Amino acid sequence: MVTSSQAGERRERILRAAVHERILEPDHAVLAAFVDLDAVADGVAALHRAFPASVPVLHTFAAKANCLVPVLAELRNNGMGCEVASAGELAQALAAGFAPERIVFDSPAKTRGELIQTLEIGAAVNADNFQELSRIDEILATRPSASRIGVRINPQVGSGSIGAMSTATATSKFGIALEDDGNRERLLRAYRDRPRLTWVHAHVGSQGCPLDLMAQGIAKAVAFAEQVNAELGRRQVVGVDIGGGLPVNFASDETAPGFDDYVACLRAQVPALFTGEYQVVTEFGRSLLAKNGFMAAYVEYTKTSGGRPIAITHAGAQVAARTVFMPESWPLRITAHHPSGAPKDGELVPQDIAGPCCFAGDLVAEARPLPELAPGDIVALLDTGAYYFSTPFHYNSLPEPAVHGARIDADGNVHFSLLRPAQTIEQLLARTGR
């Protein structure tokens, strides 16, 4: 089990080994990303332990959080299913070896072709709206399907501290708004008229959403499932997809809240979820990968402007778009290292950590107190295993960095595996239409 007290030591060991093996070097590999695969396995195990054995649960990983096929395959090997939200993510999940029955397709804009493919292979579908339900009816009128089919409801319980990450607001684009005039009755009719509708899905949000708010949303989803079964006089709804969204602590190496904290909150507010009468699906993403990955970039130049030191590095908006464009909501921890990968010490100096992109706001940190950086030093951007290097932003046609998996054996030796090769210039030209 990788503890928070060991996390920093493991990162340093991985970083030193990367420099030693020239995975990271100042001329040809100025930026690289790393996933601690041992820590990922520990996180998956903690998720499985948190839910009681008496509840039939399929834990799926939200592919949007890290869509690299080798990462998805690693998660599959550790017993996860996969939640996808596009044809691309569905293809990645299948390439990673997930069985269709362990895949859940969620998207507010599923095309007819995507629905046909999903229903043909037997992956689960959560319909987002009444029009999509009608489209599914048309498709299933001409072919059978083994897919589990549910409806995503919007429980309308409100927003967390980051509006863009809150999906259960009164006007959210996701799902059918449960409390809007007439919608509950229309939904009940939809279930009555479609015995194939056997699941209910809800997702309240992720970063910035407190556990109580998330539990309130799931409670409304379970209550609606119970209402369907009561009014229809049969157990038609047999499963509840409770989404994911456990917030991540970006302030330290501590993993808080934990999956066990969330389950305790659910037990208190949604006891019906734990009777064993419902199958459960989860869709966690960031909480499984964020703290188990980091990026390392060389400092190319340093300067002073307006009296403030600035370190120009190779990690900016192209791999940390959320932090650059919304720094108040997505601040990252940054550590300073010698060219060997060893931590720098010394007097802390407020300095800007800038990226390579050609716009003034390409800063991953402003006036951040760090040991004074010099050309050739390395900065590490922590907690970036989800939504950062796995989904780069192609600003200035900067190439995608290599991503390496890392394992540490009992003797402390680091073993790397290539999860995504660095993008070559020829590949970049091909992507841009050469």
158-200 pLDDT, tens digit per residue, is 888 888 888 888 889 999 999 999 999 999 999 999 999 999 9
**Residue 111: per-residue pLDDT:** 98
3-state helix, strand, coil in the chain (%, to 5): 35, 25, 40
User: Residue 208, CB half-sphere, CA atoms under 13 Å: how many?
Assistant: 16
* Residue 205 confidence (pLDDT) above 80: yes
- Say whether 388 sits in a helix, a strand or coil: coil
Taking the C-alpha atoms of residue 238 and residue 231, their distance in angstroms, rounded to an integer, is: 15
323-366 pLDDT, tens digit per residue, is 999 999 999 999 999 999 999 999 999 999 999 999 999 999 99
* Residue 227 confidence (pLDDT) above 90: yes
Percent of the chain with pLDDT over 90: 93
User: Residue 47, CB half-sphere, CA atoms under 13 Å: how many?
Assistant: 28
* Amino acid occupying residue 109: A
Q: What token pair was written down for 434?
A: 């050469």
**Residue 158: per-residue pLDDT:** 86
Q: At CB < 8 A and 24+ separation, what contacts does 99-107 make?
A: 101/146, 102/58, 102/60, 103/60, 104/60, 104/241, 104/281, 104/283, 106/152, 106/201, 106/203, 106/283
- Say whether 384 sits in a helix, a strand or coil: coil
Please say whether the beta carbons of 292 and 43 come within 8 A.
yes
Question: Among candidates 20, 26, 115, 35, which has minimal Cα distance to 70?
Answer: 35
Where in 63-171 does DSSP place strands (E)? Answer: 81-84, 103-106, 124-127, 149-154
Q: Which helix (H) or strand (E) holds 328?
A: none
Q: From the CA atom positions of the chain, what is the Rg in Å?
A: 23
Please say whether the beta carbons of 105 and 92 come within 8 A.
no
Taking the C-alpha atoms of residue 405 and residue 407, their distance in angstroms, rounded to an integer, is: 7
Where in 139-264 does DSSP place strands (E)? Answer: 149-154, 176-177, 197-201, 239-241
Q: Are strands 279-284 and 414-420 parallel, antiparallel or unpaired?
A: unpaired
Taking the C-alpha atoms of residue 32 and residue 51, their distance in angstroms, rounded to an integer, is: 35
All structural domains of the chain with their residue ranges: 4-36+290-431, 51-284
Q: At what angle do helices 37-50 and 259-269 cross, to 10 degrees?
A: 20
CATH superfamily entry for domain 51-284: Alanine racemase (3.20.20.10)
Taking the C-alpha atoms of residue 434 and residue 429, their distance in angstroms, rounded to an integer, is: 5
Q: Which residues pair with 294 in a beta bridge?
A: 34
Taking the C-alpha atoms of residue 203 and residue 209, their distance in angstroms, rounded to an integer, is: 11
Please say whether the beta carbons of 265 and 211 come within 8 A.
yes
Which position has the higher pLDDT, 245 or 16? 16
249-277 average pLDDT score: 96
Please say whether the beta carbons of 361 and 326 come within 8 A.
no
* Amino acid occupying residue 349: V
75-128 pLDDT, tens digit per residue, is 999 999 999 999 999 999 999 999 999 999 999 999 999 999 999 999 999 999
* Residue 5 confidence (pLDDT) above 80: no
Q: Which residues pair with 407 in a beta bridge?
A: 415
**Residue 109: per-residue pLDDT:** 97
Q: Which residues pair with 147 in a beta bridge?
A: none
For the chain, report the end-to-end CA distance as a whole number of angstroms.
48
**Residue 228: per-residue pLDDT:** 98
- Assigned fold of 4-36+290-431: Lyase, Ornithine Decarboxylase; Chain A, domain 1 (2.40.37)
**Residue 413: per-residue pLDDT:** 97
Taking the C-alpha atoms of residue 131 and residue 120, their distance in angstroms, rounded to an integer, is: 20
Taking the C-alpha atoms of residue 365 and residue 332, their distance in angstroms, rounded to an integer, is: 8
Question: Among candidates 107, 118, 71, 134, which has minimal Cα distance to 388?
Answer: 71
Question: Among candidates 381, 262, 247, 406, which has minimal Cα distance to 324?
Answer: 381
Q: At what angle do helices 211-232 and 183-193 cross, to 10 degrees?
A: 50
* Amino acid occupying residue 255: T
| Torsion angles phi and psi, residue 67, rounded to 5 | -95, 10
DSSP structural state of residue 416: E
Q: Which helix (H) or strand (E) holds 281?
A: strand 279-284
Among positive and negative, which fits the CA dihedral 209, 211, 217, 222? positive
DSSP structural state of residue 400: P
User: Which residues, at least 6 apart from 287, have a Cβ–Cβ distance to it below 8 Å?
Assistant: 43, 244, 245, 246, 247, 248, 259
Q: What is the mean pLDDT of the chain?
A: 96
Task: For residue 1, name the pLDDT band (cuts at 50, 70, 90).
Answer: low
